[in-house]
């Protein structure tokens, strides 16, 4: 029997992850016996949940919260909670409180739990841990020199996860997610939000704002692929991973122009014309320091799978969200 804790369960990826876990019914070759779903706003009970579900609304970075979340000894912990890149850059204190202090409180609570408690912890990191200048492609072991506060916070989380895992205090796996595209719903405060917006809004017959040039190249994955990464990270053999517990996930390298070409092929020329170019220097500067393409042979060798193409990413959004074309 497996107790699963999801921190960040009310977010888009968190909701989709829980839906897939409920559908599967098991994890790590054991039946899921309990869910604890946590976010700053109360998550919803997943339909058809086959086991008890505890819903917790809290700021997990507050003192004493992490200890409460693990007091029932969850077997697998998905740590998805984060302040996104743009907000972490503009609100220094909030970014460090959630992205760094929250992660440290969680890891410390696990360390101090006693009774040989050693859960599998899946930590969502980011390709923002890397900073320019880059080789092309970027190898998995390229040094971490982030150029944003968000990337710095995620990099420190990676180091903490590695150290506690090395010491046998938890069984951590850190996955550096590509930018997730196409995100359903409204735009968030991430600097990368436009990568989704220039597909999502036109497919919903709305105007989209493009703040950067068409030549901007980025590393992306669909929400469907991201859920697959998380599930596989929960189950992959720790000995096969070895001591380097953080790795970059496979993705699709595509330019803004590639995105627009996919939109035009799948949604038609009229929808592509709904993109309006409004340059934003602040976003351009943030994006210019981001990595572009990666060598992800290590993750692929461990069984992590990417989307087949950017067209596949667009079609996954259409299928998963029930968009009429």
Choosing from 96, 123, 150, 317, which is the catalytic residue?
Answer: 150
Q: Could you identify the residue written with the tokens 């039946």? A: 31
Contact 31, 3 (CB under 8 A): no
Q: How many CA atoms lie within 13 A of 320 on its CB side?
A: 23
Q: Which two tokens stand for residue 2?
A: 């497996």
Whole-number Cα distances in Å, 171 to 11, 42, 237, 292: 24, 27, 10, 30
Question: Does residue 123 have an active-site annotation?
Answer: no
Strands (E), 80-215: 120-126, 171-177, 179-180, 208-210
Contact 156, 100 (CB under 8 A): yes
First to last CA, the chain: 43
Contact 205, 33 (CB under 8 A): no
Helix or strand (DSSP H, E) at 299: helix 297-301
Contact 102, 60 (CB under 8 A): yes
What is residue 316's three-state secondary structure?
helix
The residues assigned a catalytic role are 150
């Amino acid at each position: 029997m497996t107790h699963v804790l999801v921190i960040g369960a009310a977010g888009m990826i968190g909701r989709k992850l829980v839906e897939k876990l409920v559908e599967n019914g098991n994890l790590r070759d054991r039946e899921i016996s309990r869910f604890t779903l946590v976010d700053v706003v109360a998550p919803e009970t997943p339909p058809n949940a086959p086991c008890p579900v505890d819903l917790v609304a809290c700021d997990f970075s507050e003192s004493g919260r992490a200890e409460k979340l693990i007091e029932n000894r969850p077997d697998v912990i998905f740590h998805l909670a984060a302040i996104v890149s743009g907000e972490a850059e503009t609100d220094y204190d909030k970014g460090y409180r959630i992205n760094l202090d929250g992660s440290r409180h969680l890891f410390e609570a696990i360390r101090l739990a006693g009774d040989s408690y050693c859960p599998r912890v899946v930590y969502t990191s980011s390709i923002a841990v890397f900073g320019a200048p880059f080789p092309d492609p970027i190898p998995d072991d390229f040094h971490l020199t982030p150029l944003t506060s968000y990337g710095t916070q995620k990099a420190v989380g990676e180091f903490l996860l590695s150290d506690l895992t090395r010491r046998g205090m938890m069984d951590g796996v850190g996955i550096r997610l590509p930018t997730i595209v196409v995100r359903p719903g409204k735009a968030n405060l991430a600097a990368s939000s436009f990568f989704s917006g220039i597909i999502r809004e036109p497919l919903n017959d709305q105007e989209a704002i493009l703040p950067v040039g068409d030549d901007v190249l980025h590393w992306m994955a669909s929400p469907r692929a991201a859920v697959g990464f998380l599930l596989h990270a929960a189950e992959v053999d720790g000995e096969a991973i070895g001591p380097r517990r953080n790795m970059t996930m496979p993705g699709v390298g595509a330019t803004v122009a590639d995105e627009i070409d996919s939109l035009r092929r799948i949604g038609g020329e009229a929808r592509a014309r709904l993109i309006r170019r409004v340059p934003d220097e602040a976003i351009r500067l943030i994006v210019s320091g981001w990595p572009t393409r990666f060598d992800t042979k290590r993750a692929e060798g461990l069984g992590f799978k990417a989307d087949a193409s950017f067209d596949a990413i667009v079609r996954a959004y259409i299928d998963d969200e029930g968009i009429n074309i």
